[in-house]
Structure 1
């Protein structure tokens, strides 16, 4: 009798759950597949298959700009929703999803839940990331050296094939570490051949890293337990690890922590003063900490907070820049895009602008080249480095988005991937076409462009990222032409972003974390 009663109670609960989810919940009026509305594990399966973002895009094509993708999650794809959710002062906050990006157990600019917390931290850093600081300050000089080292690498390779997935990661690592720490206390020299610094990226290159992210998102407590075992238990659980140790960014996080310790030691010993670090992010944070100590208790920003903040910027600055540059080099190396590369080469070779001491165009000069800007924008549109959903929630009560009532606490999100494939804004959206961004046109494309997010949470490193890309691309194509290496034809490079693989969908084959190109010297065009 008791088992029957338990079974009946369970069945009743199941029926009620299904009825409530599909017919009573205010979100039941939102279109979408019933399987997604009933359980979050349906979307988790797409995550495991590395197809979440493409699947959601197909659902938008089927159901329209508003789709229910989970019991408590709704995805949007309209300009009205973009302004409502991500606009300045919208009231929407980040969700617990972002806690997985904490470093050393401390929150940082990327993980703060409220806009108030985010805003306070951003005030300390915004000036260092401003356009003027990046284009004309110490950052511009450091970038000139980073670009020079990459050009030296190309020269050393000679006619050898170049795996630009790896070499551009070296360039990206050096650029962000020197910007954050300066060359003496944490800057790297991977591009120049430092094997220890190159080894920092070994776990980043691992193909299993996306599985670890899946576990961290969907089974966070289990994942934390598995990776914190020691002794005999560590050996027993090793076969169960989604990614064998060292896990993704282990070496990079250790490097970032040591850089903070090196800086603290130099400051305490008097070998270094905060004024000498004024051109670095870590210097600005330590300067703020010192000022706070003089005026009262050291509250809110201790050494580990500084380490976490810098490490977060380091982690965010590696893959994003490297992957975008890789797709740009690859896309304009395709035979069908030869005309794009030639037009770009003519512009950068004939450009009139300031040169650095290595005879490369300065970041300020490259920022004024319209076709180079168009090529980069088109790369960011089609191959956005963070193309997946950016979840938010409205904690203060129900709200209305695109005509649908959204209860408080509902996770809402949008993705650059879907926004950038809107056929009204971008005809033939899978075609790489920089001409979308040139000539006389309305601002429709600009309104749908969302590679750096928007509002108060817009990417703080936008100007630094653009400067890195414009300066390196101009330097390379002033001296070289690129083609697809033999054996890599009809193959798209595939990059990992969170728990997904992103590719060029027009190619029949993919190669994960690999992109083979040939670089050949060309003739500089005289004015």
Structure 2
């Protein structure tokens, strides 16, 4: 029996060798797309995606690429993929008139329906953007400021309870005074805020201090899960394995047999039911006739009240990306800016003085401690600090992949044949010394005045062009209100001056805990203190 099966085993092994080794080598040397002229990220990058998958497991993919791009403006990262480090490529790849479209990563990573962020077809994207643009219009967002203010107040209520005695000069932080994980609570803030803005949903994470919630299966049954692990481990697994698009659906399923990936796969299932449950709840309210001032209302009807007639799967998909991108990136941004300011006390002093000067004693500030957006939205140094933090560690460092059109495209003056994946990491762009001298340092002054305006074409924290982030206005609103309100009211300290925030790159960053000591500021101008 064993002898009989041997030829079949040999034949199978030969097929595997031919498909996974011999064929890629032949394709590499045939070089139909002419990509061999570019330096490889790894000696095998032109033959296999395996080196990039291995790099992704390091958790610092874009940082490694940034170092390589200091020497090479274009790097081949996979058999059919190029990464760019020359800032001039931004316009060619992401600009408004680019012929490039979102590549296969968005197709294999999508669910049953595309949402605004992963839809590939340009006409379908234009339809979606038109439908959703009114919901994200600045006038609407400022009308929803009270929802952001409410969540800021809830965050302040918690921090007030955690306040300790002021830290004296030269004093070492006591371990028992480090009682706030700022990373966790900033994330509770963004989740509660976007759920209220988008769905008029009171998640209550800030009230309860945890993110346990209900998910819904397709059969209507429900289950309990934790929001943040479900969301972040879903993104982590995808970022580790998605790079070979052709094989990703198969690899994604088979990998669940390995405990490391299996745990993430289980959490992915948990995540799928969260936007479904939230959409279900809000739809029930909509059907009973509630007219609520939120994103969902704009999703269901146009500004004249006519139904948009979206399919249920599309509604769930849009809720999914809203709860994902609308919470994760802003939470990362808020954590990063507070971290950078604690690390740079002179800059912290300067921005705090600007905020104090803009908010006169008892003006636009009540007992809640929440500052009015209108009072702080035009503060130049505050905005410069926000932008510099977004530059130094963009919440989405991943190079958003685009595909050249069938007839090819010119990038940096070179013709790139059709069907090639091209990308530029925001982190790579932001570490280019030609535009950002001392790029590894936190220097908000670079974003002030005319110099700051000159840098905007190279600022990719919200991507660029027609596919730029539609939610950037709401992110700035949340960042400005919560950061200014906290700096006005509190002082913070890390466990030690040399403490470092842990970062793990997926498509966004997964940040580690950020334990801090917090205490009330003594303000000379504040009659209440």
**Residue of structure 2 in register with 1:180 after alignment:** 198
**Residue of structure 2 in register with 1:74 after alignment:** 82
Over 3 Å counting, the alpha-carbon distance change for 1:368 and 1:293 in structure 2 is closer
Contact 1:51/1:501, CA 8 A, preserved across alignment: no
- Distance in 1 (CA, whole Å) between partners of 2:24 and 2:463 is 39
Aligned-pair distance for 1:244? 4.6
Counterpart selection for 1:26 from 7, 25, 34: 34
Over 3 Å counting, the alpha-carbon distance change for 1:526 and 1:12 in structure 2 is closer
SS in 2 for 1:62: coil
Counterpart selection for 2:263 from 228, 240, 243: 243
Paired residue total: 483
Contact 2:105/2:242, CA 8 A, preserved across alignment: no
Structure 2 counterparts to residues 414-425 of structure 1, below 5 A: 414-425=424-435
Aligned-pair distance for 1:417? 0.5
**Cα RMSD after superposing both structures:** 3.1
**Residue of structure 2 in register with 1:333 after alignment:** 342
- Distance in 2 (CA, whole Å) between partners of 1:125 and 1:93 is 20
- Distance in 1 (CA, whole Å) between partners of 2:416 and 2:52 is 20
**Residue of structure 1 in register with 2:157 after alignment:** 152
Over 3 Å counting, the alpha-carbon distance change for 1:223 and 1:324 in structure 2 is same
- Distance in 1 (CA, whole Å) between partners of 2:203 and 2:379 is 30
State yes or no: 1:302 paired with 2:311.
Answer: yes
- Distance in 2 (CA, whole Å) between partners of 1:406 and 1:30 is 11
TM-score, L = length of structure 2: 0.83
SS in 2 for 1:435: helix
State yes or no: 1:481 paired with 2:500.
Answer: no
Structure 2 counterparts to residues 44-193 of structure 1, below 5 A: 44-63=53-72, 65-99=73-107, 101-103=109-111, 105-135=112-142, 137=143, 139-159=144-164, 160-161=177-178, 162-182=180-200, 186-193=201-208
- Distance in 2 (CA, whole Å) between partners of 1:168 and 1:430 is 25
Counterpart selection for 1:348 from 339, 346, 355: 355
Question: Deviations 1:336-365 (Å, cap 9, x if unpaired)?
Answer: x11111111111122148726635221222
Which blocks of at least 5 consecutive residues in structure 2 are unaligned? 1-6, 165-176, 214-224
Aligned-pair distance for 1:208? 9.1
Structure 2 counterparts to residues 189-204 of structure 1, below 5 A: 189-193=204-208, 195=210, 197=212, 200-204=226-230
Aligned-pair distance for 1:242? 3.9
- Distance in 1 (CA, whole Å) between partners of 2:99 and 2:34 is 21
**Residue of structure 1 in register with 2:300 after alignment:** 286
State yes or no: 1:322 paired with 2:337.
Answer: no
SS in 2 for 1:432: coil
- Distance in 2 (CA, whole Å) between partners of 1:469 and 1:247 is 29
- Distance in 1 (CA, whole Å) between partners of 2:335 and 2:277 is 29
- Distance in 2 (CA, whole Å) between partners of 1:142 and 1:321 is 15
**Residue of structure 1 in register with 2:392 after alignment:** 382
**Residue of structure 2 in register with 1:313 after alignment:** 322
- Distance in 2 (CA, whole Å) between partners of 1:174 and 1:86 is 32
- Distance in 1 (CA, whole Å) between partners of 2:461 and 2:52 is 23
Over 3 Å counting, the alpha-carbon distance change for 1:438 and 1:12 in structure 2 is closer
- Distance in 2 (CA, whole Å) between partners of 1:12 and 1:311 is 41
Over 3 Å counting, the alpha-carbon distance change for 1:441 and 1:289 in structure 2 is closer
SS in 2 for 1:263: helix
- Distance in 2 (CA, whole Å) between partners of 1:372 and 1:472 is 12
- Distance in 2 (CA, whole Å) between partners of 1:209 and 1:293 is 33
- Distance in 2 (CA, whole Å) between partners of 1:177 and 1:100 is 27
- Distance in 2 (CA, whole Å) between partners of 1:447 and 1:225 is 40
**Residue of structure 2 in register with 1:265 after alignment:** 284
TM-score, L = length of structure 1: 0.83
Contact 2:113/2:314, CA 8 A, preserved across alignment: yes
- Distance in 2 (CA, whole Å) between partners of 1:429 and 1:82 is 18
- Distance in 2 (CA, whole Å) between partners of 1:242 and 1:515 is 27
- Distance in 2 (CA, whole Å) between partners of 1:426 and 1:318 is 28
- Distance in 1 (CA, whole Å) between partners of 2:420 and 2:38 is 13
Aligned-pair distance for 1:514? 1.1
- Distance in 1 (CA, whole Å) between partners of 2:101 and 2:22 is 36
Deviates more, 1:372-381 or 1:194-203: 194-203
Deviates more, 1:89-98 or 1:380-389: 89-98
Which blocks of at least 5 consecutive residues in structure 1 are unaligned? 228-233, 503-511
Over 3 Å counting, the alpha-carbon distance change for 1:496 and 1:363 in structure 2 is farther
Question: Deviations 1:80-99 (Å, cap 9, x if unpaired)?
Answer: 32111111131211012123
Aligned-pair distance for 1:495? 3.4
State yes or no: 1:467 paired with 2:474.
Answer: no
